[in-house]
Amino acid sequence: MSENKRKIIPIGPYHPLQEEPEFFKLYVDGETVVDIEIEIGYNHRGIEQISTTKHYDQITFSVERICGICSTSHPFAYVNAVEDLLGIDVPLRAKYIRSIIGELERLHSHLLWLGLAGHFIGYNTVWMWSWKYRESVCDILEVISGNRQHYSMFKIGGVRKDIPKDLIPQVEKMCDELIPALDMFKGAIMDDPVIHARLKGVGVLTKEDAISFCVVGPTARASGINIDVRKDDPYAAYGLVEFNVPVLENGDVFDKAVIRVLEMYESIKIIKQCLEALKKEPEGNIEVKVDFIPKGEGIGRHEAPRGEVFHYIRSDGSNRPVRHKIRAPSYMNVASNKVAAVGQSISDAAITLAAVDPCYCCTERTVVVDIENKKVVYTWNDLIKLSQQKTEKIKKSL
């Protein structure tokens, strides 16, 4: 097919609600995606530069604003980086609280993704139910920290708030009630022949490509790469609790969905162990005092819901860093769409691009434009409809 007959489907660029705005230009030949161009930077806020103008305690809050969904990931990696620079260890109780917050966040983030993924392929019931259970997780975060998002729990040397004894049963109750819901979601994915037919073999990222693109998190683990910072380089309380890291081999959207559901069980396991440990630790001992950051360099990382968050900090001995490098997981994962989406049909594009979980809120901004006469062919809603119709077709044929 000649170049000028190719059609472009622009997806994006951005929406104020999206924490990682991006613009996918799909080049299509008929129904097939033949190439994809990815543009980012629509919401570049220069936070790395802003960091060099703030003192160390302020940065904990400013980096929390990088992401709207996994908001605790960045302060988590940042305090790890500064503590690596300082060479200090935080109190045991603070470690457990850090891990609890990290895992609660993973729960609500994965539930959010599951709901969106369900919506994209026409399972709106999954969407509603998944977000219903996400509420209970957000409520618990509010009870603990005062906020549903941007919990502001972290500080260099510890955490800002304790989890008192009388709150623990409430968190445990939420965890216990979530397990039957997870069983339901697991059943809905594993036992449904339509989902198997719809998602298996779609948007495959091979192990070779996954290694070359250096993808992280569930995207890597669905392609057979066994990496998880919590296990590989234990920090906070992750070295003190038992949990498994699920790894699957096929690299398709189905495996990426299954991985996230399985991970939620592990998160609950971690939270419950941490809560048990909190009961034995004396209350109130949640921080060590840090009043001077010496000259030096530090690297910190955290396994966010989407993968490894990386922070590098360099200090010249003053109260502000001279360089703060931040790398979010989607920076690595989104680039891999270049291979995962090519060769797919348009109706698979929505779920393939969403499978790396790039916080896909810019849903209404997609249009398909016919280049020759500049006419709008599909809107994003039409694309979702296409995707849902394909599911319907599979349902009928089974």
| Site residues (vs another protein, CB under 8 A) | 40-41, 44, 46, 48-49, 84, 87, 209, 211-214, 226-227, 229, 232-234, 296-299, 301, 308, 310, 312, 314, 322-323, 325, 327, 331-332, 335
Kindly tell me which of 112 and 293 has the beta carbon lying closer to another protein: 293
Kindly tell me which of 186 and 323 has the beta carbon lying closer to another protein: 323
Kindly tell me which of 112 and 304 has the beta carbon lying closer to another protein: 304
What six digits make up the tokens of 143? 């009870």
- Least distance CB 44 / another protein (angstroms): 4
Please state, in angstroms and rounded to a whole number, the distance separating the CA atoms of residues 173 and 237: 21
Question: DSSP readout, 263-295?
Answer: HHHHHHHHHHHHHHHHHHSPTT--B-------E
Residue 306, helix vs strand vs coil: coil
Please state, in angstroms and rounded to a whole number, the distance separating the CA atoms of residues 14 and 7: 21
Q: How buried is residue 108: exposed, middle or buried, by Cβ count under 10 Å (0-12/13-18/19+)?
A: buried
- Least distance CB 22 / another protein (angstroms): 11
Q: How far from 181 is each of 88, 289, 351, 373, CA to CA, in Å?
A: 40, 42, 23, 49
Kindly tell me which of 184 and 214 has the beta carbon lying closer to another protein: 214
- Least distance CB 48 / another protein (angstroms): 7
- Least distance CB 69 / another protein (angstroms): 21
307 neighbors 219 (Cβ within 8 angstroms): yes
Kindly tell me which of 220 and 350 has the beta carbon lying closer to another protein: 220
Kindly tell me which of 19 and 84 has the beta carbon lying closer to another protein: 84
Q: How buried is residue 237: exposed, middle or buried, by Cβ count under 10 Å (0-12/13-18/19+)?
A: buried
Kindly tell me which of 330 and 388 has the beta carbon lying closer to another protein: 330
- Least distance CB 334 / another protein (angstroms): 9
237 neighbors 76 (Cβ within 8 angstroms): no
- Least distance CB 182 / another protein (angstroms): 27
Residue 111, helix vs strand vs coil: helix
- Least distance CB 123 / another protein (angstroms): 33
Would you tell me the crossing angle of helices 92-120 and 73-86 to the nearest 10 degrees? 150
Kindly tell me which of 92 and 335 has the beta carbon lying closer to another protein: 335
Please state, in angstroms and rounded to a whole number, the distance separating the CA atoms of residues 32 and 147: 44
Q: How far from 121 is each of 3, 157, 257, 348, CA to CA, in Å?
A: 31, 44, 12, 9
- Least distance CB 208 / another protein (angstroms): 11
220 neighbors 337 (Cβ within 8 angstroms): no
What six digits make up the tokens of 136? 């209970």
Kindly tell me which of 201 and 296 has the beta carbon lying closer to another protein: 296
- Least distance CB 88 / another protein (angstroms): 11
Residue 387, helix vs strand vs coil: helix
What is the β-pairing status of strands 22-29 and 7-11?
Answer: antiparallel
Kindly tell me which of 185 and 238 has the beta carbon lying closer to another protein: 238
- H or E stretch at 321: strand 321-327
